């Protein structure tokens, strides 16, 4: 199932990758939640139980890694910068999963716990 549209790819390249390669990590991570929401909205309603937040994190992280590696960018440094600037579990999951060459791999269990914790963390912060 392809949930990544051309419009979302453009948004990722402009708002996340563009900021990340300029070391503007806070600006880049600030856009992750919006992109994840758009990816999630592209999952058909009857598939959201089996393809949920975990799938959206994986799709975005894979896209980030592929583009950063193809450009010869310092993937580990950028992923670490994104992780440090992240303020929520989903953004940290994307940053962690975007650097598999450093041994940072996302598992369904880790992503599930990060995704499950996000709403609870938001409620506590209010």
Task: Going from the first residue of the chain to its last (126 residues), give the mean pLDDT of each consecutive group of 10, the final group possibly shorter.
Answer: 93 94 94 92 87 85 88 87 86 76 45 42 35
Q: Which among 100, 97, 102, 94 is positioned nearest to 39, based on CA atoms?
A: 94
How many separate domains does the chain show? Answer: 1
- DSSP class of residue 45 equals G
Range of the domain at 112: 6-125
Does some domain include residue 22? yes
Q: What pLDDT shows up at residue 79?
A: 86
| CB-based contact 57:115 (threshold 8 Å) | yes
Q: What pLDDT shows up at residue 110?
A: 43
Does some domain include residue 1? no
Does some domain include residue 117? yes
Residue 54, classed as helix, strand or coil, is helix
Q: What pLDDT shows up at residue 99?
A: 62
């Amino acid at each position: 199932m392809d949930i990544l549209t051309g419009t979302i790819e453009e948004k990722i390249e402009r708002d996340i990758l563009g900021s990340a390669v300029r070391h503007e990590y806070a600006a880049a991570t600030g856009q992750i939640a919006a992109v994840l929401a758009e990816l999630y909205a592209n999952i058909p309603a009857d598939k959201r139980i089996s393809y949920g937040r975990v799938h959206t994190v994986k799709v975005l992280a894979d896209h980030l890694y592929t583009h950063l590696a193809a450009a010869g960018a310092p993937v580990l440094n950028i992923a670490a910068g994104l992780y440090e600037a992240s303020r929520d579990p989903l953004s940290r999951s994307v940053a962690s999963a975007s650097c598999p060459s450093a041994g940072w791999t996302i598992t369904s269990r880790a992503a599930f716990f990060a995704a499950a914790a996000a709403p609870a963390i938001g409620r506590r912060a209010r």
